[in-house]
Structure 1
Amino acid sequence: MAPVSRSAPAPAAAVREMDIDGEVTLFHEPTHTALVLNETAGDVWRLVDGERTVDEIVRLLASSYGASDDDVRAGVEAALDELVAHHVVDRPPSG
């Protein structure tokens, strides 16, 4: 996987966020699909704003979780990969 630390992922324009029973649920209008996020993916989603880089998201969550950046990075990357695969996050090319 190519390094993406400098990229700033952003929410896709056609996504609506809903809180259903305390869980973040994202609805992608073009495909009419809903995605219920687990706790980690929900934490990542809340930090995706098109301004924060992946490294910044990792640092913020590591601090929040009381863990090292290295321990958190794989979970953040996996969550971002899933969010991108479901078309709810746009991830610009690294660089």
Structure 2
Amino acid sequence: MTRSAPVPAPAVREMDIDGEVTLFHEPTQTALVLNETAGDVWRLVDGERTADDIVRLLASSYGAGPDDVRGGVEAALAQLAAHHVVDLPSPG
């Protein structure tokens, strides 16, 4: 069975520092300060919502079309995964 929704990595701690979302990945001892869009994406990553769900929610929130926000959501998810704070769905 493949997972269809991104999931926060279990070893990540979220902190609010000066109004910005900062993620701390304990195994690598690294911190990641998120920009506003990445912070919005992070807040919606719950293991239940798919990337398409996140796109739809943010498009509605921003008053934009899904195609207008899809690239930013996909880029944010890719960066979060590259920093080991989000596990992306298995292909297939």
Who is 1:15 aligned against?
Answer: 12
1:1-95, aligned counterparts within 5 Å? 7-95=4-92
Q: Which stretches in structure 1 are left out of the alignment for 5+ residues? A: 1-5
Q: Deviations over 1:1-47 (max 9, x none)?
A: xxxxx820010000000000000000000000000000000000000
Q: Give distance in 2, aligned partners of 1:92 and 1:66.
A: 27
Per the normalisation by structure 2, the TM-score is 0.95
Per the normalisation by structure 1, the TM-score is 0.92
Who is 1:3 aligned against?
Answer: none
Number of residue equivalences = 90
User: What SS class does the counterpart of residue 41 from structure 1 fall into?
Assistant: helix
Q: Give distance in 1, aligned partners of 2:44 and 2:89.
A: 16
Moved over 6 A (4+): none
Question: 1:93: how far off?
Answer: 1.4
Q: Give distance in 1, aligned partners of 2:67 and 2:89.
A: 22
Q: Which stretches in structure 2 are left out of the alignment for 5+ residues? A: none
Q: Give distance in 2, aligned partners of 1:54 and 1:94.
A: 13
How many percent identity over aligned positions?
A: 84
Which letter does structure 2 place at the counterpart of 1:26? L
Q: Give distance in 2, aligned partners of 1:59 and 1:42.
A: 16
